[in-house]
Amino acid sequence: MKKIALLMDGWKRYLTFAWPAGILQRIHETDEKVALYIFSSSGNWSRDEKYNEGEYNIFRLPDLSEFDGIILDLTNIQISSVIEEVVKRAKDSGVPVISLGKELDDFYYVGIDNRRAMAGMVEHLVDVHKCRTFWFVMGPKDNYENIRRVEGIREYLDSQGISWEESDFFYESYEFQCGINGFRHFMERGEKLPDAIVCANDNIAVGVCEEAARAGYHAPGDFFITGFDNFDKAAFYTPQITTVSHVREEAGYRCAQLLLQIWKGEELPRFHYTDVEYKFWESCGCNNGHHHEDRDYLKGQIIYQIETDIFMEDILSLEYELLKCSTFPQMINCVLKCLPSMKCDAMYLVMDPRMNDFKKRTENSEIWMTEEENYCIHGYPERMVLEFSYENPEVSEGLELHLAQRENSEVNTIFPVFDCQEPGANILFLPLHFRQWTVGYLVIRDSVYLMERQYLHHMLGALTKAMENLHRHEKLEWMNEQLSNLYVRDTLTGMYNRMGYRKFAGTLFEDRKRANNLLILFIDLDRLKFINDNLGHDMGDLAIRAVADAIKSSLDEEGIPVRLGGDEFLVICEEPSGQEIENMIREIRHKVEHSGNQVGLYELSISAGYVITDKESPKKLEDYVNEADAIMYEEKKAKKAART
């Protein structure tokens, strides 16, 4: 099975569905076994640069050398460092690379000839309509397609000896508002209307017409106007907008065809231009007698709106249901139940296992790690976890069982986990991140319907927001628990401190003394002052932790270990048998000595004393602790005497 990687960035929040649609069309026509893997971002949607950074990390997920061909759609990416990194990785892969719509050195190019197409539009205005003065309302100044269209305009005007100034060009975006702002900009300069206003696309052209109408001007009576791309707005607006038509799916189709030829060893030119067709309509004074069937168009729009309304109702239900989820797999399960119209074959959730690291940290560690320390920004961790996998959506019952069989599987790379065996299959990879911090990715198999309907942004937005809220809630609960622990825990050892001793030991004593006898074991670390004075307090801390670790590892879950302060430790637990007590103390001594030897604290030792409570006795807990302390002190005193 040959594998094609398509790396693409949507315009704002919209997926460029035409590319995968064209690629898949050609794949389905061939007998060759080819699968399409789509890595999609929406990195120019948010004004938060950190969010955009998190979106683009999806491009770092695949090892591009594992593919047989690579198709890059980098036209809409506005961060040069992202483009440079993707281009380098593609070059280093050693496989054929095709760039869609953006000429990149060393790669094949597929797309329209923007420069020549726009020059042809201006040529029509000059030759047919005798235009000599122009305003140009263009897209983003640093956008590749826009740059090429501007170059086409200038080159043609220069070739005809028609003068132009830099001030004749207004740059902003490809949106409707750009047309409004552009027309206002030129009018505020106090200039008279030009012969023609040339726009970078149809959205802009409609915006210009609307703003001009508010000022009392109309095309084509007061000026000619042209667009580009042949959106619905061009054909169904009044007047019909003169535009440049190109079938965007054709570019994807040609990419797939080009790879098929390369795999066969054919020698091919670098540039492959798709066809364009000029639509000279009413806005430039032309009337070709062509009229679109409004009824069919309106019918399509009505059906689309009905489906969209249903979907948005589902999204509202989804957002509500997600609030009730307590795990990430439950959230994906909720997505599937709330959105039955998704029409995809399978869905997978792959997460960074460090999402729950804060729950697993030891009690004597820091309270929390910041996201900067915890999550990836560049690339993904070597080991990830398949938190959720769901296949065959027609199965609705027994879903939880199905999930349980597949969750918590380790994922080290996208292959072989997401290796397709069916020709013409497509798998979409979408980034999951909290701002710039990557937490995982969502995988959807057969995502054609979702891409075409542009539902993914809404669904992914609701899911990511809910995941982040759940994560913050879980983390806040854990942090509150840790803060509570600080009140009763010794930070060096993780044992209870004196406050914890008063809070828990007294309760255990009162609860158990009438039913069972308790062991009260008092332990003192020998020669701690000598260690601190001669070897330093760091070594003293190591000695204290060695004793604490030995005690905790020798104690069952019901026991209460306490560091009373300095070198003194206390253990309260259910009474073992006599021999078990001696064995436990011997085990603690051995572990302390062994730990000391490992860090260079040779002959590290403890002194110990214990008593057994009597359930018939009126003694208080403090009385027993004092008795055990006294017994311990006798051992300690004997050791001192032996050293002198």
Model confidence over 191-223: pLDDT tens digits? 899 999 999 999 999 999 999 999 999 999 999
548: which residues sit within 8 A by CB, 6+ positions away? 492, 493, 494, 495, 561, 563, 569
Q: Identify the helix (H) or strand (E) that includes residue 35.
A: strand 34-41
Q: How confident is the model at residue 398 (pLDDT cuts 50, 70, 90)?
A: very low
**Which stretches does DSSP call E strand in 331-475?**
346-351, 384-391, 409-411, 426-434, 437-445
Q: Is 99 helix (H, G, I), strand (E, B) or coil?
A: strand
**Which stretches does DSSP call E strand in 395-502?**
409-411, 426-434, 437-445
Cβ contact 192:166 at 8 Å = no
Q: Which residue has the higher pLDDT, 89 or 415?
A: 89
Mean pLDDT lowest among 21-30, 446-455, 600-609: 446-455
Query: Which pLDDT tens digit goes with each residue over 455-486?
Result: 677 777 788 888 888 877 777 776 666 666 66
**For the residues 285-300, what does the mean pLDDT come to?**
64
**For the residues 141-164, what does the mean pLDDT come to?**
95
593: which residues sit within 8 A by CB, 6+ positions away? 603, 604, 605
What is the DSSP code (8-state) at residue 192? P
pLDDT at 290: 57
Cβ contact 146:171 at 8 Å = yes
Q: How confident is the model at residue 289 (pLDDT cuts 50, 70, 90)?
A: low
Q: Is it the case that residue 327 has pLDDT exceeding 90?
A: no
Q: Is it the case that residue 94 has pLDDT exceeding 90?
A: yes
pLDDT at 299: 56
9: which strand partners? 41
* Residues 315, 466: Cα–Cα separation, whole Å: 12
* Residues 358, 472: Cα–Cα separation, whole Å: 11
* Residues 520, 617: Cα–Cα separation, whole Å: 15
Name residue, tokens 């296992």.
353
Q: Which residue has the higher pLDDT, 484 or 35?
A: 35
Q: Identify the helix (H) or strand (E) that includes residue 609.
A: strand 606-612
Q: Is 558 exposed, middle or buried (0-12, 13-18, 19+ CB in 10 A)?
A: exposed
> Residue 175 is encoded by which pair of tokens?
């949106």
What is the DSSP code (8-state) at residue 505? I
Q: Is it the case that residue 23 has pLDDT exceeding 60?
A: yes
pLDDT at 188: 95
Mean pLDDT lowest among 355-364, 468-477, 521-530, 584-593: 355-364
> Residue 141 is encoded by which pair of tokens?
């100044």
Cis peptide preceding 220, ω within 30 of 0: yes
Mean pLDDT lowest among 21-30, 133-142, 217-226, 353-362: 353-362
Q: Closest by alpha carbon to 278, among 120, 156, 154, 165? A: 120
* Residues 277, 247: Cα–Cα separation, whole Å: 9
* Residues 523, 383: Cα–Cα separation, whole Å: 43
Strongest mean pLDDT among 239-243, 307-311, 500-504: 239-243
pLDDT at 631: 95
**For the residues 571-597, what does the mean pLDDT come to?**
88
Q: Is 306 helix (H, G, I), strand (E, B) or coil?
A: helix
**For the residues 508-534, what does the mean pLDDT come to?**
86
* Residues 533, 527: Cα–Cα separation, whole Å: 10
The strand order across the sheet containing 518-525 reads: 560-565, 568-574, 518-525, 606-612
Share of the chain above pLDDT 70, in %: 85
Name residue, tokens 């980034």.
431
CB atoms within 10 A of CB 12: 13
